[in-house]
Amino acid sequence: MRVFSIFFLVLIGTFIIDQNIKNIFVEGYYRAGECIDLELHYNKGVAFSMFAFLGPYLKWIQATLVVGILFFIFKEGYLKRYAFPAGLLIGGALGNVYDRFIHGGVVDYIAWHCGFNFAVFNFADIAIDLAVVIILIMVYFFPEKNSGMKTETK
Say how many Å lie between the first and final Cα of the chain, rounded: 41
Which are the contacts of 19, defined by CB distance < 8 A and separation ≥ 6? 95, 98
129 is catalytic: no
Whole-angstrom distance, CA of residue 134 vs CA of residue 74? 18
Strand order in the sheet with 120-121: 36-43, 106-112, 120-121
> What three-state secondary structure class fits 36?
strand
108 is catalytic: yes
Catalytic residue among 18, 99, 125, 129: 125
Catalytic residue among 37, 99, 108, 129: 108
Whole-angstrom distance, CA of residue 124 vs CA of residue 130? 10
Catalytic residues: 108, 125
